[in-house]
Structure 1
């Protein structure tokens, strides 16, 4: 990193602006405000602005509603554009979406936010990019635009790495990765985040910080992809992936193998492509990353095929079937209402014209959002009543409490089909008469009567050393 001879003292006063008040921007803005920093939230969506100004949130994240209700009025304000008064920092948190057909990044929101920020920088304003981007984007796009307005920009890339459902806690506990244009920008970024996250992971450049974010999610995708590949192999060999993975992990002092299941969300389904594009632009190949993403993208279709095969096996014609899909958000634990990158999206595309009724249930996602995705929104009891099949996509802890043998037998048409993506219903339903229970990695007729190993594994388990 280039040396800077005359560093300005990091400012502890002044407003910080956050552009984009979605899952990333809103949690950061409120977290900064909570530690005493006055924040201006800039949001393009008029409905979101209206709700936030009224002290209400338009997204589900534990703790957000409480902060909106309790923060002093001057600590967090919401507007549609940056003020003309000097700002301590501008943090860009707009969404960066990948086109599902081309896998190319839509640069529109980032370009617009960058142009707006550049018009409002003063000599002392630090610009922080938090939106996830391909390696080199901050320098190529953001720095280039800032240079049109100032001869010495202050610029850093400080990625978000929180998990939805625990974002507020992780903003304070996770090390904040910081990469900067120069030493002065680095010190300003450290000072900005210090009241919120005392632990920092400093890297040598903007590009190093950009890549750090991408490899975190790509690695997660990779290890989950191996679990899903094991599931594919086990099914082909008439074996049980759950049994094999549990046996391999038991008291073995190496990294655990991941269980098979859907890999979703806006980050895990996008960031591997951004990393692959970054590598390709530099002439590098990424066969492992590409293979994992390909394997993981097949999971929703595999689930649907299992359900349709099970319906056929029980004598139910697909065109006459009522199917209930449980878990419309991309994950169930920690719970979220985010449907971006959800398995339910592809499941709806694959089933809506093949079954008579496609119902959808989620504990957090709003009914109108469920309907937008192609489902008939229902309560869990209503959805299970006279259903031929239940397709459980997420690991929300409430589903095992409500989808038990009695509920299935008393409400669903028998023989009932239950597909359980994560195997959370196995001990209750796997050996129940009148229920065709299936799960990822153990399909067909071999999915039943194979769960004695669950009890053995539980009795053999001991705390890790």
Structure 2
């Protein structure tokens, strides 16, 4: 154990045991904190009490079970009267509503719950991603009504799904307090987890860091997707342009293009823009990048509609398989929040309304695949057998490792494999007769026509 019995803030209450809250709770319990986890979903509470996480995260099963058994982590539906906590960490979600604005009721409700238990000298840490100014303008007024002295800080979550437990122990933790005392106190708490804490000037600076970090990633990926659009238009390979251009060249570090979504990138640019409206500022680059990433599925699927319409023999009622439903594949996750598989599938349904639909993901449960309206397939081989169109929507390592040319023998004829993640180079593949491979940013390199009837044999030369 790392946290000594004498540490004043050893008892911690974490509110919201979704991805952010549960990984933090498990990591803190594992270093010796006594953690009270609060979660309102009954089914999740029952699973966690048995030491079973409700989502996939490498290493979490062992850490969770060990600390549940050891009594260092307990789970309840509300804050117990006798919790003994001196620190409350708020980790509830902040999704966008139908109007595109961040929903704040979860933050307000949890802050009110904390206020009912707040004692003199307690500390409240905000960890949820919020609109700029939320901690000071929304949370503090709720807590102030109680009339006790307390500390408050904003300490954003920064981990990557798939490596969260490692990153909680390794990544620098940003800490911004309402006053210096709160900043120092929160730093002392997190130093039991990570060797590096970064103290910033105030709450708003810490809130802004979280939003800017994610918006910057969204912009970077959007530029890669713009490069893909350009390369598709002129007939060169975006994969080759990007990989050759950055090889041993330190001033270029462009990622590969691909669908951009997930629980953070799909919403945080919008949250940033919403928080800046009162200041009369529109983050134009940020919003343009987000719009480009959001428009990609429809643009690609419309292109696939033109390509398949030009292929002789492509059926009016094709069998279509969507592979990779989680919002990302590497590191592997079963998280469907913000997954681009949804808009990709929606666009496919519009362009191919009579299709038969299948789905495959090696991590997402079959029941969740079925909830997409897809027939779940048990393997890549089954997913491709008899399919006319296969769309690879995330970057799971299983896809890059599969012997595509061999498995493609199972496809119907004609058939097309479309890869959003450039797992293969089209020119290096020896696809079976009557089948073809096409990747994002390399449309012109697949030898397939956008218009004009052609067979795959003639298109492949």
TM-score (norm 2): 0.91
Aligned match of 2:118 in 118, 121, 139? 121
Residues 214, 376 of structure 1: alpha-carbon distance in 2 compared, 3 angstrom cutoff: same
Q: Provide the C-alpha distance between the structure 1 equivalents of 2:426 and 2:436, rounded to a whole number of angstroms.
A: 14
Q: Which moved more, 1:62-71 or 1:39-48?
A: 62-71
The residue number in structure 1 matching 2:61 is: 65
Does the 8 A contact of 1:437 with 1:448 survive in 2? no
Q: Provide the C-alpha distance between the structure 1 equivalents of 2:120 and 2:447, rounded to a whole number of angstroms.
A: 68
The residue number in structure 2 matching 1:384 is: 384
SS in structure 2 opposite 1:266?
Answer: helix
Q: Provide the C-alpha distance between the structure 2 equivalents of 1:13 and 1:38, rounded to a whole number of angstroms.
A: 9
1:307 CA displacement: 3.0
Instruction: Write out aligned runs for 1:242-253 (5 A).
Output: 242-253=239-250
Instruction: Write out aligned runs for 1:306-345 (5 A).
Output: 306-317=303-314, 319-345=316-342
Aligned match of 2:40 in 39, 44, 56? 44
Does the 8 A contact of 1:405 with 1:429 survive in 2? no
Deviation readout 1:379-437 (Å, 9 max, x if unpaired)? 2222211100110011111123335111111x111232000111113368645243221
SS in structure 2 opposite 1:350?
Answer: helix
SS in structure 1 opposite 2:40?
Answer: coil
Does the 8 A contact of 1:303 with 1:421 survive in 2? no
SS in structure 2 opposite 1:298?
Answer: helix
Residues 291, 205 of structure 1: alpha-carbon distance in 2 compared, 3 angstrom cutoff: same
Residues 316, 130 of structure 1: alpha-carbon distance in 2 compared, 3 angstrom cutoff: farther
Does the 8 A contact of 1:405 with 1:428 survive in 2? no
1:256 CA displacement: 1.2
Q: Provide the C-alpha distance between the structure 2 equivalents of 1:448 and 1:119, rounded to a whole number of angstroms.
A: 66
Does the 8 A contact of 1:307 with 1:391 survive in 2? no
Residues 316, 25 of structure 1: alpha-carbon distance in 2 compared, 3 angstrom cutoff: farther
Does the 8 A contact of 1:265 with 1:330 survive in 2? yes
The residue number in structure 1 matching 2:187 is: 190
Aligned match of 2:147 in 144, 147, 150? 150
Q: How many residues align?
A: 437
The residue number in structure 2 matching 1:394 is: 394
TM-score (norm 1): 0.90
Residues 11, 122 of structure 1: alpha-carbon distance in 2 compared, 3 angstrom cutoff: farther
SS in structure 2 opposite 1:16?
Answer: strand
Deviation readout 1:45-77 (Å, 9 max, x if unpaired)? 000000001111110001110112222432000
Residues 349, 223 of structure 1: alpha-carbon distance in 2 compared, 3 angstrom cutoff: same
2:87 aligned with 1:81, yes or no?
Answer: no
Deviation readout 1:73-122 (Å, 9 max, x if unpaired)? 320000001122341200000011012x4210111211111110111111
2:224 aligned with 1:227, yes or no?
Answer: yes
Q: Which moved more, 1:117-126 or 1:244-253?
A: 244-253
Unmatched tracts of structure 1, length 5 or more:
1-9, 450-465
Q: Provide the C-alpha distance between the structure 1 equivalents of 2:166 and 2:244, rounded to a whole number of angstroms.
A: 34
Does the 8 A contact of 1:328 with 1:344 survive in 2? yes
Deviation readout 1:245-269 (Å, 9 max, x if unpaired)? 2232122220312221111111011
Q: Provide the C-alpha distance between the structure 2 equivalents of 1:82 and 1:274, rounded to a whole number of angstroms.
A: 29
2:332 aligned with 1:352, yes or no?
Answer: no
Does the 8 A contact of 2:366 with 2:376 survive in 1? yes
Q: Provide the C-alpha distance between the structure 2 equivalents of 1:348 and 1:315, rounded to a whole number of angstroms.
A: 24
2:416 aligned with 1:417, yes or no?
Answer: yes
SS in structure 2 opposite 1:360?
Answer: strand
Does the 8 A contact of 1:261 with 1:422 survive in 2? yes
SS in structure 2 opposite 1:211?
Answer: helix
Does the 8 A contact of 1:131 with 1:159 survive in 2? yes
1:234 CA displacement: 1.7
Aligned match of 2:201 in 198, 204, 213? 204
The residue number in structure 2 matching 1:441 is: 441
The residue number in structure 2 matching 1:98 is: 96
2:179 aligned with 1:176, yes or no?
Answer: no
Q: Provide the C-alpha distance between the structure 2 equivalents of 1:151 and 1:53, rounded to a whole number of angstroms.
A: 33
2:428 aligned with 1:432, yes or no?
Answer: no
Q: Provide the C-alpha distance between the structure 1 equivalents of 2:65 and 2:230, rounded to a whole number of angstroms.
A: 51
- Calculate the aligned-residue CA RMSD, in Å: 1.8
Aligned match of 2:29 in 33, 37, 40? 33
Q: Provide the C-alpha distance between the structure 2 equivalents of 1:229 and 1:428, rounded to a whole number of angstroms.
A: 22
Q: Which moved more, 1:115-124 or 1:243-252?
A: 243-252
